[in-house]
Chain A
Amino acid sequence: MMELIRLTKAYKGVPAVRDVSLVVQEDEYLTLLGPSGSGKTTLLRLLSGLEKPDAGQIHLNGEDVTYRPPYLRGLGIVQQNYALFPHLSVEDNVAFGLRYRLIDPVTDDSEVKRRVAETLELVGLTGFGGRMVGQISGGQKQRVSLARTLVTRPKICLLDEPLGALDANLRERMTVELRKIRATLGVTFLHVTGNETEALAMGDRMVVLDKGGIVQADRPDAIFSAPSDVRVARFVNTYNVLTGSGQDSVFRTADQLVSLPEEAHGREVGFYAIRQDSVEIDAAGTVPEPGRTSLQATYITSEFLGSRFIYIFRLPDGGVFEVERHLSHSDPVTYKGGETCSLSWNLADALVFDPSGAALETNAFKGAA
């Protein structure tokens, strides 16, 4: 178990990580989602000991390791660029930690070979041991990098955007494999990513980071359906976020009025979010049914994504509003560019946030249907 207590780090006066407190459990897959510049890499470097915090502490299984050098922490780190040793073969890369680590090195060469072979098998690289690292593909490098770390049996394995450099196909396969490998070994993975789909799909638990601070830490489905902050709603990338102000029972945005859910009546509202897949498209001027509200917008274009369509609309103030239609639910409809449509949704599906961005309590914490 690793405990971060109010970790803070600044570079030349610019805060990169501020006041981060978090408990990383044993045997869990934790994803850390944040846009670039949110301090996620810095946080990882603090945990691994490659950087020293300005304030705060890191406890590892009850021991204070805040200022312990990386080679005494027993953590693994898989870097974004893989950082393989270019002058060594795949086998020697993987064996490196076992052979040369300060604590408990493995001196028996046959034992090293056995463990290396075992780990290469785990990551699906049996038979690649003799190759030089310059002679294998990106996906294979990433596996070597993972194997090199896992073979040392780290207490926690830190992964810095491990899938960032892979193409989409490989990415999807590695997503499944990473989870499988982790479950096999029972090692805690702390996976840093800027990709919301990855964070949602992989983590048992997920932490959303913004501007160096934790915005929300929860199960992915909870974060997805009930973002605690408007920034989270934006990161998960499935919400239309409207900016404006609440006036009693209505919310004024882009010179239009939409109804607020009942719980938000009379409260200060700064942001209004609605999931892209809970919006209906009707002809312009259609009066919404009771319990629903609507917005007029201009259709621009649509994007076909295999199993679904994304319809893109422009609001009068220039903002973009996206509607997602799954083909399993409805057939695609063709709209004319420039056509005005009425977009409506169930009030109960709406999420509202106060002007500072914090979520207001509503009862919308459920699926889209």
Chain B
Amino acid sequence: MNQNTAIRTLLAFYTALFLAFLYGPFVVMAIISFQQGPEGGPQFPIIEWSTFWYQHVLGFAPPSRVAPLPIGEALTRSLTLAFATMVVSTVLGTLTAQAFRTQFKGSGFVFYLVVLGMMVPGVLLGLGMALVSSQFGIDRNWWSTAFVLHVVYTYPFAFLVMLAIFNRFDKSIEEAAWALGVPPGRTFRKITFPMIFPGVLSAMLFAFTLSYDEFPRTLFTGGREVTMPIAIYGTFAVEIHPNLFAFGVLTTLFSFALLTVYGVLMSASVRRARVRATGMQEDVA
């Protein structure tokens, strides 16, 4: 009993430490984002609480010596790129995982070939792509060369998620549908896909966030029109102002919003089943 309490205390301490390190930087960033502007810098103490840097990010602040963040277009680019990457990687990952459900010759080799995309260091891959494209005279753009690398990077994640999902999938359910006279394509749409949908959602989330955050691969292959992470990195080179932190807070809130959408979609099917279940319990009573 005593030992139990000791272990519990230790684990609680460990968890607290973990959470502190996880959220600490963000909390500091959030506090400093409310620094007075434009004179207040990214350091303590807070001279005066204000929302100046938020207005600055959103372009409402009066012109000052601090240049506005060059983020408008970069943000659109990053979102577009992340969305396209998400769609392509999830479709590819799902199809590849589907292929891996049946043993085929060289499946082990193909597996490592796919997974290599997330193992190879991003800088190497980015540099390599840059070299190849200059060799063949291909223009580097966020929507071409960078997009390809984003897919190469996120596709293995989507693939692994779907592989795990299919691993637990009962094949006899599909076989039952075929035996009822329903061809495989229709079976996939009507039976398999609805059943693996939560997995597809997870794969999409992975692909989107990984692509949205991606730095080393994009740095070398994105071309002149930069994405969000590159744009932010660019501003570091000059001087850091709390507007960056304000922006960080805003994007984090955006990510949470995205996660919420994911959560809502995930639980929708569960809730639907539960509603039917309670409906049944009323029947019985």
Contacts and interface: CB of A to CB of B under 8 A. Distances in A.
Contact of A135 (B179, B186, B280): B280
A83 interface: yes
B175 A101 contact: no
Interface string B155-182: 0000000000000001011011111111
Nearest to A97: B180
A96 B283 CA distance: 25
B183 interface: yes
Interface in B46-92: none
Nearest to B180: A97
Interface string A132-148: 10110000000001001
B179 A96 contact: no
B180 A148 contact: yes
A48 B191 contact: no
Interface string B115-155: 00000000000000000000000000000000000000000
B177 A96 contact: yes
B279 interface: yes
Contacts of A72: 181
Interface string B241-273: 000000000000000000000000000010001
A97 B190 CA distance: 11
Contacts of A87: 194-195, 269
A101 B182 contact: yes
How large, as a class, is the contact surface on chain B? Answer: 20 to 34
B181 A102 contact: yes
B277 interface: yes
A75 B276 CA distance: 32
Interface string A66-87: 0001111111110101011111
B280 A77 contact: no
Contact of B172 (A73, A74, A83, A135): A83
Interface in A112-162: 130-132, 134-135, 145, 148-149, 152
A335 interface: no
Contacts, number: 94
B173 A102 contact: no
B175 A134 contact: no
A148 B186 CA distance: 17
Interface residues of A, number: 35
A50 B180 contact: no
Nearest to B281: A135
Contacts of B180: 71, 76, 96-97, 100-101, 148-149, 152
Interface string A26-65: 0000000000000000000000111000000000000000
A30 B280 CA distance: 37
Nearest to A85: B191
Contact of B276 (A85, A132, A148, A152): A132
A165 to B, nearest CB: 13
A168 interface: no
Contacts of A103: 181
A75 B277 CA distance: 33
B24 interface: no
A102 B183 contact: yes
Nearest to B181: A101
A165 B177 CA distance: 21
A152 B181 contact: yes
A149 B178 CA distance: 11
A70 B179 contact: yes
A164 to B, nearest CB: 14
Interface of B: 170, 172-173, 175-184, 186-187, 190-191, 194-195, 269, 273, 276-277, 279-280, 283
Given A49-B179, A70-B178, 12 more contacts: A48-B179, A49-B178, A70-B179, A72-B181, A79-B175, A79-B176, A81-B170, A83-B170, A87-B195, A97-B182, A101-B180, A131-B276
12 contacts: A50-B179, A74-B181, A75-B179, A79-B175, A83-B175, A83-B176, A85-B191, A87-B194, A89-B276, A97-B182, A100-B187, A135-B276
Interface of A: 48-50, 69-77, 79, 81, 83-87, 89, 96-97, 100-103, 130-132, 134-135, 145, 148-149, 152
